[in-house]
Structure 1
Amino acid sequence: MTAIDPEDAGGPEILVPTRRPTPHPGEGEVLIRVAAAGVNRPDVMQRQGLYPPPPGAPSIPGLEIAGEIVAIGPGVGPEMAGQPVCALIAGGGYAEYAVAVAEHCLPVPIGLSMVQAAAIPETLFTVWTNVFERAYARDGETLLVHGGTSGIGTMAIGLGKLFGLTVIVTAGSDEKCAAAETLGAARAINYRSTDFVEAVRDFTQGRGVDIVLDMVGGDYVPRNLKCLAEEGRHVSIAVQRGAKAEIPLWEVMRRRLVLTGSTLRGRDREFKAMVADELARIVWPHIEEGRLRPVIDRSFPLSQAAEAHRRMEEGGHVGKIVLTIDE
């Protein structure tokens, strides 16, 4: 099969098509003929040599795919053969074929394109597990999300609207802020021209937000804590500005704040299967009825994976970047 599988770390130019053996599904797995694959920040970090695949995962990048199941492994019901699905995978998405755990697959509803379906799993699993499970978001609460026009940010806006959250986001330009508010953010703050801590205080009339979803880390963490209301929850999912932060413990104690976080790629099969089941029951009906759709920035053919990574690194995208695989 054709795949993107660079042997060394480097810039986007190393993402060139090559030939690799077609994988075979193992116990509880399916083989998917990939129609589209989402591009995510961890793919860029893996290409740079900063985020190696977990043990047992393919070296081929790509954490989410959509396509048709063309083979099933032992222990998988025959009814899954031929089904259009999207799936969260630990790697292997930048290819014509990829293996997924059957329990990590979700059906592609009528009316949802393969490009849209491929843009859902990574961000949906991430936002759901961190905002609604780890931070136990409740109807009527307020959520602050950094990177409001990223794939994570746009998914957080969409899910927040569905489940009764007021969503505040930050973004790096007035144009991106306008885009975020068009998508449903209650307030979008240009962090380059405005102190987001003061803007959050003004918007919430001094109360603060209930939850911060942070993918920045570093010196943003103490600023994020200033944005939290009493009993607020801070959830870290990435560390783009550094993995170390100075924490004002007295403020954590005085206002009873909760600091937590998670990663997704290295979690075990059982955990991801549990999340997929929750999403199938709670979120998927909204997708089937058209109330939740991923925001698509641009799609590129697999042969232009380098251009897709350049687009992500330039930072001008709004929503998801997707690779399409031609048969």
Structure 2
Amino acid sequence: MSDLFADVGRMLFDPHTQPGSVGLRQDGCGLFYAGAVNVLEGRAEVGWLISAVVAAQMLETGGSVLVVDVDGNDPWPLLDVLDGLGVSTAALCSRDRFRFAQPADRGELLRVVEDAGSWHPSVVLVGSLGSMPGLMGGSPQDGWSESLRLVLEAFAGTGAAVIGLDVCDGDEPAVFGRGGLGASVSGSRLRAEQMSGHRAMLRVRADRRGAVRAMGAKVGEWCVAAVFESQTDAGGRTGRFVPVSNGDGVMLTPANAVKTISPRIGYQHIIRAANEVLDGQLTDTGAPIANAIAKRALELQEAN
């Protein structure tokens, strides 16, 4: 009977279920919502790397993480990344803190969902979404309906921040961008646009609750929630979500970002402009980074 009702006490007092508590930027603002279905679009390797950083943040602050791999990937690369990010072996080996599942069929997947109902993980990572209807069986439409209702929404019902990886490349449309599926995303829907090096711009595609969009920066017609940066050296691996800010480090919002530039700029021009501006670190007037990216992208588009 208790499963019919939300655990309000946990929602109010568990720090890992608070709004904006998942996928923290350097300024403490979160990119994903607890108790909701969130979607991360982009190339598989970028999506899994970003997801690993989100998982590492949660594990480092005492939370718990469930990874549901419906593609049958080798788990070692993910475990290696988590280890490189500094997640302790004790946390990875504790089934109270971290669980990795590779369900082979509908029955196994639903058993993982049932287990989460009693375990209550802080974050559930599911990838890739495009493989779920086939695993659930039935027609494509029935497969999507059941994937949403019986899996993703059921995970979110436990209070977890569900992050589904929607694999796509370049300007290819994501699965949740077709057939009205995007309307079923109850949290944030971000697209990771690959940049130079180990960086990606996280563009807001949808935000049902509004907090992620409100803290983003306007770049042309885009709203950019953060720039993801990752580095690997002898000391291990690092990953961080950087707010798009001005020269003084003050966070930009749509209210103070430039409003005069609003053409439909091609995404390839914005990515190139972002690389140029961020690599140069705005050595000129100290104008807002979002402003500088938009202006440079417009110049590139007009030159072509």
Query: What is the TM-score with the length of structure 1 in the denominator?
Result: 0.31
Of Structure 1 and Structure 2, which has the larger fraction of its residues in helix? Answer: 2
Query: What is the TM-score with the length of structure 2 in the denominator?
Result: 0.32
